[in-house]
């Protein structure tokens, strides 16, 4: 894959400049809190419009402010695993997982629900409601939901930050396993360097790292 | 227990109120969504316009309806010519008056519940590829459902009690526009009407109580489903 990001985001009291061009499968954005790591993910996902910038994934131009291009999130096929999971509380785990599939490309080749559940160890949770899941389980379901929508790239925003130490140790191997089975590029955000190194070969510093 | 005329008033009230609330819900949901999520010029004007029936004297609302929807009014004449619909002095006019009077309360309740829906969930649905209409139907609406039910019950209560705009717009015609409050009022205007008025008062209490119980039951069912 090739990923190229060049951004400038200006907010009152906050300016972020970020440039990244990489061929690596997994890249970790690392930097202190408030440096703008989540802002970068939001710009890649199309949830935030940068003041200036260009974002290209494998030749697909998602944002190019100079050319007036800024695709809405719906058109980007960018899978996003949020720090707080954001599962739909009124839907079962199964319907959460399958939510994006009806908007995904029709041609065959995507992962099956079974394969995703096996990889992430969530097959026994399918009929549960999100409110009954532990933090680690909810994150794994969120990962599966983003994977099943057949994205071009997976964004992961500190997926372990809300978990305690034991849950972190338990969940990290699932992330590594998914990375290897999924065959999709990952943009991973973490403020913990050892965690970032376990997921990604390449570390991109953000802010004063 | 009730006389035939009283039954007619009760049945008419239920019909007028149900039609008013059901017909009001879709536009109320649309306007509530616009006010909660829309970013456009004139939002404050729309907000004020929606609240107008709440702050105007009901007689004024009824009079304006009569001017606009009367058989010679601009809207009323057009409706009669194009579709053969007459609202003035008909039960449908009573439903229109009740719906307009209930509209602000329904919009308010639904707007609050839409504002309470976590926008980050809508963002998540957008990244999953859902178009805006699908996000509204699969995320926003189901999560706002308790508020929509609450708004419907509030609107039902308001429409059931609607008096001033109704009597001004469609008058007090037994069997056609004489709803329960109008029938009760008519009783108070004649000697010996006290027992009839009391019977209708009791009927109002039973209907209102039933509506609250039904909404509790529905809210509990949606919560269990959620």
Judge contact between A182 and A154, C-beta under 8 A: yes
Judge contact between B180 and B10, C-beta under 8 A: yes
pLDDT tens digits for A90-101? 999 999 999 999
Distance CA(B164)–CA(B28), nearest Å, equals 22
Residues in chain A within 8 Å Cβ distance of B225: 90
* pLDDT reported for residue B46: 93
Q: What kind of fold does domain B4-225 have according to CATH?
A: MetI-like fold (1.10.3720)
pLDDT tens digits for A152-203? 999 999 999 888 988 899 999 999 999 998 888 999 999 888 899 999 989 9
The alpha carbons of chain B give a radius of gyration, in whole angstroms, of 20
* pLDDT reported for residue B184: 95
Distance CA(A15)–CA(A11), nearest Å, equals 6
Distance CA(A123)–CA(A97), nearest Å, equals 11
Q: Over range A69-93, report the average pLDDT.
A: 95
| CA atoms lying within 13 Å on the CB side of residue A25 | 12
Distance CA(A61)–CA(A158), nearest Å, equals 26
Judge contact between A32 and A191, C-beta under 8 A: yes
DSSP state of B116: T
Q: Which of B119, B127, B133, B138 to mutate to test the interface with A (most CBs of A within 10 A)?
A: B127
Neighbours of B151 (CB within 10 A): 27
Q: What is the ipTM of this complex?
A: 0.93
How do the domains of chain B map onto residue ranges?
4-225
Q: What pLDDT band is residue A209 in, cutting at 50, 70 and 90?
A: very low
Low-confidence ranges of chain B (pLDDT < 50): 226
Q: Is the pLDDT of residue A43 over 80?
A: yes
**Percent of chain A at pLDDT above 90?**
75
* pLDDT reported for residue B223: 66
Q: Is the pLDDT of residue A111 over 60?
A: yes
* pLDDT reported for residue A138: 95
Give the CA dihedral B130, A142, A21, A193, nearest 10 degrees: 160
Name the residue of chain A whose CA is nearest to B124's CA.
Answer: A86
Find the chain B residues whose C-beta atoms sit closer than 8 A to any C-beta of A. Answer: 118, 120-121, 123-132, 134, 138-139, 142-143, 225-226
For all residues of chain A together, what is the average pLDDT? 91
* pLDDT reported for residue A184: 87
Interface A–B counts its CB contacts (< 8 A) at 59
With CA atoms as reference, report the closest residue to B101 among B64, B70, B61, B67: B61
DSSP of chain A, one letter per residue?
A: --EEEEEEEEETTEEEEEEEEE--SEEEEE--TTSSHHHHHHHHHTSS--SEEEEEETTEEEEEGGGTEE--GGGT-EEEE-TT----TTS-HHHHHHGGGGGS--SS-PPPHHHHHHHHT-GGGTTS-GGGS-HHHHHHHHHHHHHHT--SEEEEE-TTTTS-HHHHHHHHHHHHHHHHHH---EEEEES-HHHHHHH-SEEEE-S--
Distance from CA of B129 to the nearest CA of A (A): 4
Paired tokens of A137: 């389980």
């Amino acid at each position: 894959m090739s990923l190229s990001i060049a951004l400038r985001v200006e907010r009152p009291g906050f300016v972020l400049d970020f440039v990244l061009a990489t061929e690596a499968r997994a890249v970790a954005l690392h930097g202190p809190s408030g440096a703008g790591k989540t802002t970068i993910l939001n710009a890649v996902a199309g949830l935030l419009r940068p003041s200036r910038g260009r974002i290209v994934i494998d030749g697909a131009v998602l944002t190019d402010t100079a050319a007036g291009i800024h695709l809405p999130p719906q058109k980007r096929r960018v899978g996003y695993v949020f720090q707080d999971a954001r599962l739909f509380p009124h839907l079962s785990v199964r319907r959460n997982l399958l939510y994006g599939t009806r908007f995904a490309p029709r041609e065959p080749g995507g992962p099956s629900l079974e394969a995703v559940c096996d990889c992430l160890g969530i097959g026994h949770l399918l009929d549960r409601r999100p409110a009954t899941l532990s933090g680690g389980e909810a994150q794994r379901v969120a990962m599966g939901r983003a994977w099943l929508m057949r994205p071009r790239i997976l964004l992961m925003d500190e997926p372990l930050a809300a978990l305690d130490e034991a849950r972190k140790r338990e969940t990290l191997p699932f992330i590594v396993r998914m990375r290897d089975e999924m065959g999709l590029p990952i943009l991973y955000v973490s403020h913990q360097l050892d965690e970032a190194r376990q997921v990604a070969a390449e570390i991109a510093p953000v802010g004063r790292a | 227990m009730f006389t035939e005329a009283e039954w007619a008033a009760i049945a008419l009230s239920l019909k007028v109120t149900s039609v008013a609330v059901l017909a009001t819900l879709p536009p109320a949901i649309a306007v509530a969504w616009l006010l909660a999520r829309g970013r456009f010029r004139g939002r404050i004007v729309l907000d004020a316009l929606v609240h107008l029936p709440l702050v105007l004297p009901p007689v004024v609302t009824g009079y304006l309806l009569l001017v606009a929807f009367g058989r010679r009014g601009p809207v009323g004449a057009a409706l009669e010519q194009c579709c053969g619909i007459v609202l003035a002095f008909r039960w449908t006019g009573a439903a229109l008056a009740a719906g307009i009077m209930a509209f602000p309360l329904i919009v308010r309740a639904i707007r609050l519940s839409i504002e309470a829906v976590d926008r980050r969930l809508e963002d998540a649905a957008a990244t999953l590829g859902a178009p805006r209409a699908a996000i509204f139907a699969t995320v926003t609406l189901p999560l706002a459902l308790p508020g929509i039910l609450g708004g419907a019950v509030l609107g039902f209560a308001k429409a059931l009690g609607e008096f001033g705009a109704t009597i001004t717009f469609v008058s007090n015609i037994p069997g056609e526009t004489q709803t329960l409050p109008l029938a009760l009022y008519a009783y108070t205007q004649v000697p010996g009407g006290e027992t009839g008025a009391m019977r209708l008062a009791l009927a109002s209490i039973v209907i209102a109580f039933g509506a609250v119980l039904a909404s509790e039951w529905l809210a509990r069912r949606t919560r269990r489903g959620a």
